[in-house]
Amino acid sequence: MDNDIEKVLYSREEIAGAAKRIGKELTHDYEGRQPLVISVLKGAIFFTVDVLKEFDCYTDIDFVDVSSYHGGTESSGKVDLVREINTDIKGRDIILIEDIIDTGRTLEYMVNLLKQGGANDIKVCTLLDKPEGRVVDIKANYVGFNVPNEFVVGYGLDYNELYRNLPYVGILKPAVYQK
C-alpha cells in the first residue's frame, strides 16, 4: 500500500501524540462525570481506540454507522444511517468521535440525531478537520489536526473501502484514481 501514497501528512507517531493529547484533555474536562462515547463507524475506529486508551474516566461506549461517501472522493450529499445507537442517550453527556469532518454533513446529521434522542450535552472530537471542505457551518470541540483540502486516506479513512489499515494518514498518488 505504501507505494500508492504520494505524501504522508501525519505519521504514526504524530497521530499517537494527538490521540494522547486529546485523551488527556477529555480526562481533565470530564472529571467527575460519566459520559457516553459514541464512535462513528467505520472511519473512527482507530482514533476511538487510541483516544480511549488515554481517557481516564468511567465511560460507556457505543457505535453508530453512517455513510455518505459511496465510493470515490465526493460526498453523495445524503447521510444514510446504517447502524443505530443501541444505548439510551436521554440526558447523557455525549462525546462523539469522528475521523474527519469535511463537508460537515455527517456531523450535522449526527448532532440532530443525538438532540432528537434527548442528549444533555454533545461534544465532538475528530482526528482531522478539513475547514475548506465545509458546506455546513459546524465545528468540533477537540481536533487532532487541521488538514488541507485534499482527499486523505489511512488510519481509518478509506478510498473505495481500502487503505483504512494504513498506520498513517496520507494522500494517494493520482494514478490510483485512474485505476
Ligand X SMILES: O=P(O)(O)OC[C@H]1O[C@H](OP(=O)(O)OP(=O)(O)O)[C@H](O)[C@@H]1O
Given the rule CB under 6 A, which residues bind ligand X? 40-43, 67-69, 75, 98-107, 158
Q: Which residues pair with 80 in a beta bridge?
A: 67
Given ligand X, ligand HPA, none, residue 98, with its beta carbon under 5 to 8 Å by kind, binds: ligand X
> What would the x/- binding string for ligand HPA be over residues 87 to 126, using CB under 6 A?
-------------x-x------------------------
Smallest distance from the beta carbon of 41 to ligand HPA, in angstroms? 13
Q: How far is CA 68 from CA 71, 74, 80, 81, 114, in A?
A: 9, 9, 6, 9, 18
Distance CA 34, CA 37 (A): 10
Smallest distance from the beta carbon of 51 to ligand HPA, in angstroms? 19
Outline where 30-116 has alpha helix (H).
45-52, 105-116
Choose, by CB under 6 A, the member of 69, 109, 142, 145 that binds ligand HPA: 69
Q: Phi-psi bin for 71: left (phi > 0), alpha (psi -120 to 50), beta?
A: left
Residue numbers at the binding site for ligand HPA (CB under 6 A)? 69, 100, 102, 151-153, 157-158
